[in-house]
Amino acid sequence: MNITAAPPLRRPRHGKLARKRRLAGMLLSIPAIILVAALLWTPIVQAVRYSMTNWNGYSAPVWIGPGAYASAFGDPIVRRVLENNALLLLAVPFAIGIPLIIAALLHEHVRGWRFFRSVYFLPTAISWVVIGMVALQFFADKGILNQLLSDVGLGSIHTDFLASEYSALAALAITFIFSMIGTNTIIFLTGMATLDPTLIEAARVDGLSRLQIFYRVTLPLLTRFIQFSFVITVISAFSALFSLIFVMTGGGPGLGTTTLEFFVYQAGFAQGQFGTGALYGVILFVIMIIVGIGQLRLIRTEDGEGW
């Protein structure tokens, strides 16, 4: 790929040494191939097969065929679940915008910014199970949010946020945004560290305000990093919320916070419908592929570069 960039190759392409090298390469890559093929690629093929059956995991599976997908998309419950996923995507702009602002503040390098950076990234280290448990107390009937609301004279709003469908989904979305702040801030801060400071200085000398510099200089130069964090955030919104949902709502009330990934778990393991569960998993995979194509493109441009 980078033949033009490499100096004249001193590695022989033919002969005994080259053969040894190829052989060693095959040998050393075998363990990774076996692991990934056995535990990631094989199951995805199996999942596609299972998805077209009616199977409870014990008795013999009954073949349905591709029609299983047609009936799934006609199911109002499935539509409701997909709607929840779509609504959760509304959290993505906040999960990117807030970290952008935080990174911009940190990048000003005011006194103590290293300490603040450590504090901001701290939640990145802990499990979303733990974050979910605290969030549960935050949004609860006698929780902190209701306390805060009554403290500022909005006590009339007092409600159990996790008890009605849409407020529970909103609570989940807010917790998700909080959980993404650390990772996305790291991404943007790294991006800002790559910017040429003389550009910013030049803009300052030209009389642009801080805000103008942020909008007109910093943001356009960060496009690549924003794209990357967008992909990460969307993937997380679709496939990393299990812990939060499990701890905070269990998918309820009703179907209020059941997303596709949680639905896979419920169908497969709570209701024992392996075929249907696998089908939801395949739908999730297809959505991820569509999102992931962007990520692959980003990674490929990086091919051939070192650290």
Partner 1 sequence: MTAASSPSAPPAPEAAAPDTQRTSGEPLAPVSRWQSARFRRRVAASIIFAAMIVIAIVMFYPFWYMGDNSFRNQAQFDQQSGHSLAGWTQLFQVLPVVHELVSSTIVCAAAIAIILVVATTAGFAFAKLRYRGSGLVFLLIIAAMMVPLQSIIIPEYVNLAKFNLMSNYTGAVLVYAALGAPFATFLMATYYRGISDELIEAAVMDGLSYERTFLRIALPLSLPAIATVTVLQFIQIWDDLLVGYLFLPTNDRTITVGLAVLSSGRTTGIPPLMAGSLVSAIPAIIVYLIFQRYLIRGLTLGMGK
How many Cβ atoms from other residues are within 10 Å of residue 127's Cβ? 11
40 vs 60, beta carbon nearer partner 1: 40
| 165 in Cβ contact with 256 (< 8 Å) | yes
Determine the length of the chain: 307
Q: Quick check: 157 binds partner 1 (CB under 8 A)? A: no
Q: How far is the CB of 182 from partner 1 (least distance, A)?
A: 8
Site string for partner 1, 162-181 (x = CB under 8 A): ----------------x--x
* Residue 53, beta-bridge partner list: 63
Q: Which one of residues 187, 234, 237, 255 is an interface residue with partner 1 (CB under 8 A)?
A: 187
Q: Quick check: 215 binds partner 1 (CB under 8 A)? A: no
- Beta-sheet strands, E only, within 1-124: 53-54, 62-63
Name residues contacting partner 1, limited to 28-67 (CB under 8 A): 28-29, 31-33, 35-36, 38-44, 46-47, 50, 57
Q: How far is the CB of 18 from partner 1 (least distance, A)?
A: 10
Task: Give dist(CA 165, CA 159) in Å, integer.
Answer: 12
| 261 in Cβ contact with 108 (< 8 Å) | no
Q: Which one of residues 3, 5, 27, 60 is an interface residue with partner 1 (CB under 8 A)?
A: 27
Name residues contacting partner 1, limited to 245-274 (CB under 8 A): 246-247, 250, 260-261, 264-265, 268-269, 274
Non-local (6+) Cβ contacts of 143 within 8 A are 137, 161
Q: Which one of residues 15, 110, 151, 152 is an interface residue with partner 1 (CB under 8 A)?
A: 110
| 78 in Cβ contact with 72 (< 8 Å) | yes
